[in-house]
Amino acid sequence: MELPESFSPALIPDLLRRGSPFRFLNRGRSMSPFLRPGDTITIMPSSPDSGKVGAGDILLFQSEEGRWLLHRVVRVVSTGRFLTKADAALRSDGELKPDQIRGKAREVERGGSGKIYRLDSTRTRRRNSLIALLSRGELKIAGSPLFRPFLKIPLARRALRFPKWVLTRLLFG
């Protein structure tokens, strides 16, 4: 999810350098159904040196093009890098270098209901790891030469994402 334009990206490095958590209102759909428009997300400074980063974690990072993104780690690569992907996407962002990581989502307040999900709890980390596992499966199927032609069909793309969508809705309302 790209951070909303009304939120000044120029503030992010200063906030994170100071160690200050910050919150913003999600407007994007790239992390749907886990993060929804209207959810408030709390970001904490993080890097591989300051805490464990694993599959399922949602990281704030700067892409190689300089865009701020908030995507899920779907796999930790043996080289110390991370493969990230938006939940609603069928392609990965590519490998994320540790020095691109600026923060980690710590909490999600569900818009409307006010329900709060602490992303650092053992239970939530397990749930998010399961979502990451399904995301890896999506990447394998979408990358398959046999399935690739079907990606042009909207229903086929939805069918591929459906198991993860159902699981996310069951686990996180």
Domain that holds residue 86: 11-172
- Confidence class for position 171, pLDDT limits 50, 70, 90: confident
What are the two backbone dihedrals, phi and then psi, of residue 72, each rounded to the nearest 5 degrees?
Answer: -85, 140
105-138 per-position pLDDT tens digit: 999 999 878 899 999 999 999 999 999 999 999 9
The answer to whether position 6 is within a domain reads no
Gap between the terminal Cα atoms of the chain: 20
38 vs 18: which has the higher pLDDT: 38
The answer to whether position 5 is within a domain reads no
The answer to whether position 4 is within a domain reads no
The answer to whether position 3 is within a domain reads no
Does residue 146 carry a pLDDT above 90?
no
The answer to whether position 73 is within a domain reads yes
The answer to whether position 2 is within a domain reads no
**CATH label of the domain that carries residue 83:** 2.10.109.10
- What integer pLDDT is reported at residue 17 of this predicted model? 78
Distance between CA 122 and CA 15 in Å, rounded? 27
Alpha-carbon distances of 145 from 84, 136, 150, rounded to whole Å: 22, 16, 10
- What integer pLDDT is reported at residue 67 of this predicted model? 84
Distance between CA 151 and CA 21 in Å, rounded? 39
Residues 6+ apart with CB under 8 A from 42: 21, 22, 23, 105, 106, 107, 108, 109
Find how far residue 46's CA is from the centre of its chain. 14
- What integer pLDDT is reported at residue 2 of this predicted model? 47
* Omega before residue 33 within 30° of 0, cis: yes
DSSP state of 90: S
Structure tokens at 44: 């904490």
70-100 per-position pLDDT tens digit: 999 999 987 778 999 999 999 999 998 888 8
Distance between CA 59 and CA 72 in Å, rounded? 6
The answer to whether position 84 is within a domain reads yes
- The fraction of the chain above a pLDDT of 70, given in percent, is 92
Total structural domains within the chain: 1
Per the prediction, the chain carries an average pLDDT of 86
